[in-house]
Amino acid sequence: MSGRIRSEAFKSKVMSAVDAAAIVENGWNIGFSGFTGAGYPKVFPPALAERIREAHARGEEFMVSSWTGASTAPEHDGALAEVDGVRFRAPYQSDPVQRAKINDGTTYYSDIHLSHMPNLVAQGFLGDLDLAVIEVTAITEDGELVPSSSIGANRTYIEKAKRIILEVNEWQSEGLFGMHDVYYPIGNLPPHRPPLPITSTGDRIGTPTMKIDLDKVVAIIETDAPDRNTPFKDLDEDSLKIAGYFLDFLAAEVKAGRLPENLNPLQSGVGNIANAVLAGLLEGPFENITSYTEVIQDGMVDLIDSGKLAVASATAFSLSPTAAERMNDNAAHYAKKIVLRPMDVSNNPEAIRRMGVISCNGMIEADIYGNVNSTHVMGSRMQNGIGGSGDFTRNAFFSCFVSPSTAKGGAISAIVPMVNHVDHTEHDVSVIVTEQGLADLRGLAPRQRAEKIIENCAHPDYREPLREYVKLAHTKANGMHTPHDLRTALGWHVRFLETGTMKE
């Protein structure tokens, strides 16, 4: 037995993942830890998947509902989806196998703002929580839990579950102790919820450990398996251009006196463009930056090392293998500059609005009027989910969306007459950036926005067709506020589905 279980009372509950998986019954709702490939249980999900596979081979029905913090990993989401084991999934996923099962109808998926998930669970909208399966770094002498590389919805799942299985993971650094800030009063549903007392990114308002009711613990599994730490791709030319426009824009905002010299706290999505932005910040003029965000990625660790990033608040890591190693070796040092919070605090609209967070997220497509689709491909298919992008976008000081101007080798324009699904409305979207340029939409009316988005952001191959659409819409529309020709507004998507390209 590892030395990570320091409470005698917990020791007797240690068992194998196979024995723990045998506890689960068909139809159970399970709340898993895990957020962007960090802090998910590593050995229980594959053991459960195997059990489900065997049950299906015997002709028995066996599916569960899988709730998490956000995305997990192939050995978690992927393994359970592979055996058709997931009837219902929430609130965010990005696994290719799970995505395929959502899109072929096997899995119901409820795509929920991450900050809303704990509320919905607490109110019972997703049903009773039969089981929580939570990865932790250690169990203290007092029987409290030291969280691991993500917190996500763990506080809620531990509170609400009828039973709990813990995975104690020795791969997670003991130095993480003290990095977490678990705030409990937010679990009180309105009207009993007090104001959130965060006024600055690094404020600590909770405890470094999570409480747990020992009587609910039905199994403890030990492991030393690493998080899903995927290496980042080299920064491509388009990502660097997009990052350049965004950083120039921030500098102009400082010059105009609308931002302080160290900027407002930054939120950044994950992926290549976000990494290019962070790399740009490393070389840029801004000092003493702060980040109130969801995920700590490589670029932020570099910024901390350089002294440019003073403090970062998030709910999880999403690191490459080398950065994860660096974090594990120096977690106690980084704990002075990083605060990991439950996701209803990291993504809390009250804190985001109060501190004037600047949000920057990826998108699938935007339309000429500034509505943004982050989740759907050609009307019906789910890509990943809204994640925290809505929590930040609507409440941001100003919100930015970034994307290459085309997808699938140019067959798809990311700027379209009408988005095939709306995640972020024109009212919430301040700035759009592609490798073609940046459109600052603040204060503009829809027809003014259309001109700016087409001229600044659309790919040259699609600019003239977009101008033609605008002309047509002006003749066919029943009003000139947001002119559309409803017969052809989604015609580009239809053409892609029929011919494989949006081009005529």
- Name the site residues for ligand 0RQ (rule: CB under 6 A): 36, 70, 269-271, 294-295, 361-365, 374, 377, 383-384, 386-389, 407-408, 412, 414
Cβ 405 to ligand 0RQ shortest distance, Å = 10
Type and span of the H or E element at 233: none
User: What is the nearest approach in angstroms of ligand 0RQ to the Cβ of residue 401?
Assistant: 9
**Least distance CB 241 / ligand 0RQ (angstroms):** 14
Shortest spacing between CB 407 and ligand 0RQ, in angstroms? 4
Nearer to ligand 0RQ, 130 or 294 (CB): 294
Spatial separation of the C-alpha atoms in residues 315 and 342, rounded to whole Å = 6
Q: How far is the CB of 495 from ligand 0RQ (least distance, A)?
A: 13
CB 146 within 8 A of CB 7: no
What's the count of helices (H) and strands (E) in the chain, helices before strands? 17, 25
CB of 411 to ligand 0RQ, least distance (A): 9
Tokens of 326: 């660096």
**Active-site residue, 294 included:** yes
SS3 letters across 398-420 = EEEEECCCEEHHHCEECEECCCC
Tally the residues of the chain: 504
Q: Which one, 381 or 467, has the nearer CB to ligand 0RQ?
A: 381
Q: Is the N-terminal amide bond of 91 cis, ω within 30° of 0?
A: yes
Measured from the CB of residue 426, what is the shortest distance to ligand 0RQ in angstroms?
A: 18
Q: How far is the CB of 189 from ligand 0RQ (least distance, A)?
A: 24
Strand partners, 29: 65
Distance CA 70, CA 387 (A): 7
Output 385 or 446, the one with its CB closest to ligand 0RQ: 385
Q: Which residue is nearest to ligand 0RQ (CB)?
A: 362
Q: Would you call 277 helix, strand, or coil by DSSP? A: helix
Q: Which is nearer to ligand 0RQ, 91 or 143 (CB)?
A: 91
- Catalytic one of 222, 294, 426, 435: 294
Residue type (1 letter), 182 = V
Residues forming a β-bridge with 376: 382
Main-chain phi, psi angles of 503, to 5 degrees: -75, 145
Nearer to ligand 0RQ, 10 or 492 (CB): 492
Q: Among residues 340 and 414, whose Cβ is nearest to ligand 0RQ?
A: 414
Burial letters for 23-56: b for 16+ Cβ neighbours within 10 Å, e otherwise? bbeeebbbbbbbbbbbbbbbbbbbbbbbbbeebe
The C-alpha atoms of residue 262 and residue 465 are separated, in whole angstroms, by 41
Report d(CA 391, CA 385) in Å as an integer: 13
Query: Nearer to ligand 0RQ by C-beta: 162 or 408?
Result: 408
Is 67:29 a contact under the CB 8 Å cutoff?
yes
Nearer to ligand 0RQ, 223 or 403 (CB): 403
**Residue 227 and residue 327: Cα distance in Å, rounded?**
12
Strand 372-373 to 365-367 pairing:
antiparallel
* Helix (H), strand (E), coil (C) string for 66-125: EECCCCCCHHHHHHHHHCCCEEEEECCCCCHHHHHHHHCCCCEECCCCHHHHHHHHHCCC
Which uninterrupted H or E stretch holds 261? Answer: none
From the list 33, 359, 279, the residue with the least C-alpha distance to 167 is 33
Catalytic residues: 294
